[in-house]
Amino acid sequence: MDLPVDEWKSYVFQKWSLLPKSTQVTISTAETLSDIFLHSSLLLQPEDEMFLQNLSRGYLVEKDPNAPLFYREEGNKKFQQKDYMGATVLYSKGISHSRPHTADISLCYANRSAALFHLGQHEMCLKDIMSAQMHGYPERLQPKMMLRKAECLVTLGRRQEASQTISDLESSFAAKPTLTAAQFQILQTNLCRLKMKAQEKESLTETFPAALTKALEDMDLKGENGQVPSASSSVSLRTDPLRGRYLVATKDILPGELLVKEDAFVSVLHPGEMPPLCHLESKWDTRVTNGDLYCHRCLDHTLATVPCDGCSYAKYCSHDCMQQAWDLYHSVECSLGGLLLTLGVFCHIALRSTLVARFEDASKVIRKLCGEIRNRDTCSPERETLVQTLTCDLGGESENKGKMLEPPVPGCDLNGKYESNYNAVFHLLPHTGNHSPEHRFLCALSVSALCRRLEAAGCYKPAAAVPPGSGSELDVWGVAMLKHVLQLHCNAQAITTIQHTGSKENSVTNSRQVRLATGIFPVISLLNHSCSPNTSVSFISTVATVRASQQIGKGQEILHCYGPHQSRMRAAERQQKLRSQYFFDCSCAACQNEKHSAATGPRWEAFCCRSCGALMQGDDVLICGSTSCTESVSRDHLISRLQDLQQQVGMARKLLRNDKPEGAIQLLLGCQRDAQSFLSGEHSLVGEMEDDLAQAYAALGDWQKSATHLQKSLQVVEVRHGPSSVEMGHELFKLAQLFFNGQV
């Protein structure tokens, strides 16, 4: 997903293996990104581009005139089954394939408005009704839709508009009667009912979730930070030869304090599972993906997506977002959807970053890029001319022309200010030498292919700083895109959201953190890693917030977890992950402490003695940790028992999903008795069983027992993930649902 599809990777790696040894050495030993890019681009052959183009055609991103009818009919089936959410998504897919001002798009909008009405999304329903009318919804079908509009207005407390709509509907029917006697009678009955509701309905107040979200969005940083505008005055930027750039506390910080609030420089929505057409049974995919539920620009959740007029892939929450995306980058990306899905999210972000940079003063960055190209020993006369033109054109006063004035900290401006802009993005480290030659070649060839496609389509407008007509400006930005692709290996930030599982009928719902998009956050990239960090990161749309998760003393470094957390992985696993992706060995306090801990392993994976209950210690053969006990057992035997127990728990969960809570409870209670003989009371599976029992008792309406088991689950979750963890928050939310629903 981040990197190109497997077929292209395999193709490029095979091409690399067949290159002459001397060519491999030239690319492997290249000292600059421009050398890597320009050498690799010379190796991109027409047959390579054809292979990539064939892969790109496997993704249906253009508008297909036959798709709207298919999706509308599939949506109607869901609607009849009262699966209004599924129907909404399918109607949206039909809308995305429809051309403006056609019967297809008007019918899909009207049908989606009906599904949204049943979901209680009355504002969205009204917008879809307006869109259906704007695109020429058939007049003979108008009465039913106008009745729905009046119902929405009444429900929303907009009585004057509702009364006007009802009056218009009565006048329209009187002028042009198009209904049968039976239909007229139903209409009259509904109109009378609505008139009565319109007289009684009061305006609705803002819902609590909406108000809470708005409050969180409006929360500002404490104090002004003149050095890092996206950070609070409680932190300061420092630099060190070993640690690089990092943030420290300038005063004592309390848990929960907002330290950083930063909007992504760019972000790209993860497409989710989007297999090529050759892997699908039908030509059109009916599955729900992130791309169907979230705005492709601001990442807001939406059921009523607004499609791009040029492609079927990009969808937005509003016409404003659609226009902003078009102006910034989508006018270029629109025709490249299949290619970008094939090349992966990193290539997509790299392209989008350079497109957004067109609207900034990227002059200093251009000079640096041109400097890299100029320093090549094999620089052509044409490229030298380009470099001279760019450098002279971008100079300030005559004495500074062609010179680069470097700020004291990379990424800062000359005044020492570090902002979330393209200059900061450009100065994130690509760690070029740490990547394998094959990986660098894959990235360079992918970017070269993207540049060729941009050049052929004539759709790439260079940055304002690059003189038009110079002929080689795409090479300059190709080097920039290659740098961004390599940067993202270490600097990409997963943008996550909380998704709830379970139907509305469930009294207690589960929630999980899922990856929604990938973005570049230059300020958050300043944070160094710890396996036990002192901050937590959360997201609202494209805005990331960093809060202190514990007390941070003045002068302490602000630390962030890059993924391998001590509550989720052992030290050996964490070190392997950090070396392979981030190219360093972690020496944080958590890793140091784990080196000196007992051989029992993490408490959430520990086995206990069947005789005395003490923790077992050792490697292949475990012995009781109590000096007065001589019990021993092989680790393989206990692991086998654990696997059997996990299988039994899985069967209990299946019973729960099939609405058989009594059977699930009996099976889980038996599993608990078995677990007590060999698992630590803080083992993660013990906590999971308590959680499952809580759900089963909640399904039976036994709130007291459900709360008791959930509180036991909370104890295990706190041991593993900590009191201020996201996981702890999920469990506490479930407990709150229990107290509310059961009045415990």
pLDDT at 164: 85
pLDDT at 160: 82
pLDDT band at 502 (very low <50, low <70, confident <90, very high): low
Enclosing H/E stretch for 177 = none
SS (H, E, C) 676-712: CCCECCCCHHHHHHHHHHHHHHHHCCCHHHHHHHHHH
Q: Is the pLDDT of residue 183 over 80?
A: no
Distance CA 286, CA 91 (A): 10
Enclosing H/E stretch for 140 = none
CB atoms within 10 A of CB 588: 19
**Which residue carries 């059921």 as its tokens?**
303
This prediction's pTM: 0.82
* Interacting residues of 345 by C-beta distance below 8 A, sequence separation 6+: 1, 2, 268, 270, 518
pLDDT at 122: 93
Q: Is the pLDDT of residue 425 over 60?
A: yes
Distance CA 161, CA 408 (A): 61
Q: Is the pLDDT of residue 737 over 90?
A: no
Altogether, the residues listed in the chain come to a count of 744
Q: Is the pLDDT of residue 3 over 60?
A: yes
- β-strand 528-529 against 559-560: which pairing, if any? parallel
Closest CA to 503 of 742, 717, 695, 305: 695
pLDDT band at 218 (very low <50, low <70, confident <90, very high): low
Instruction: Name the more confident of 668 and 60.
Output: 668
Q: Do the Cβ atoms of 149 and 161 come closer than 8 Å?
A: no
Instruction: Name the more confident of 185 and 162.
Output: 162
Angle in degrees, CA 271, 277, 279, rounded to 5: 95
Q: Which two tokens stand for residue 593?
A: 């402490």
pLDDT at 620: 86
Considering only 94-108, 426-440, 508-522, 615-629, which range has the smallest mean pLDDT?
508-522
- Amino acid identity for residue 367 in this structure: R
Distance CA 504, CA 271 (A): 26
Considering only 58-72, 206-220, 495-509, which range has the smallest mean pLDDT?
206-220
Q: What is the mean pLDDT of the chain?
A: 83
**Which residue carries 């013990």 as its tokens?**
686
Q: What is the mean pLDDT of residues 215-231?
A: 78
SS3 520: strand
Distances (CA, A) of 399 to 367, 384, 385: 15, 21, 20
Specify which of 295-304, 452-461, 464-473 reaches the highest per-range mean pLDDT.
Answer: 295-304
Q: Where are the alpha helices (DSSP H) in 228-318?
A: 290-293
Distances (CA, A) of 375 to 33, 40, 392: 11, 17, 17
Considering only 241-245, 554-558, 689-693, which range has the smallest mean pLDDT?
241-245
Residue 72 phi, psi dihedral angles, 5° rounding: -65, -40
Enclosing H/E stretch for 196 = helix 181-200
pLDDT tens-digit readout, 293-327: 999 999 999 999 999 999 999 999 999 999 999 99
Distance CA 29, CA 31 (A): 6
Enclosing H/E stretch for 493 = strand 493-501
pLDDT at 408: 73
Distance CA 449, CA 343 (A): 10
Give the relative orientation of helices 635-657 and 661-675 as an angle to the nearest 10 degrees: 170
Considering only 129-143, 492-506, 547-561, 698-712, which range has the smallest mean pLDDT?
492-506
pLDDT at 246: 94
Q: Is the pLDDT of residue 77 over 80?
A: yes
Q: What is the mean pLDDT of residues 134-160?
A: 86
- β-strand 258-263 against 543-548: which pairing, if any? antiparallel
Instruction: Name the more confident of 379 and 321.
Output: 321
pLDDT tens-digit readout, 632-675: 999 999 999 999 999 999 999 999 888 899 999 999 999 999 99
Q: Which two tokens stand for residue 379?
A: 């620089």
pLDDT at 386: 37
Q: Do the Cβ atoms of 624 and 632 come closer than 8 Å?
A: yes
Sheet architecture: strand order including 621-624: 616-618, 621-624, 632-634
Percentage of the chain modeled with pLDDT above 70: 81
pLDDT tens-digit readout, 555-611: 999 999 998 888 778 888 889 999 999 999 998 888 888 765 545 567 788 899 999
Angle in degrees, CA 164, 104, 64, rounded to 5: 150
Considering only 379-388, 399-408, 427-436, 664-673, which range has the smallest mean pLDDT?
379-388
Specify which of 320-334, 390-404, 450-464 reaches the highest per-range mean pLDDT.
Answer: 320-334
Distances (CA, A) of 551 to 23, 246, 251, 557, 627: 54, 18, 11, 12, 38
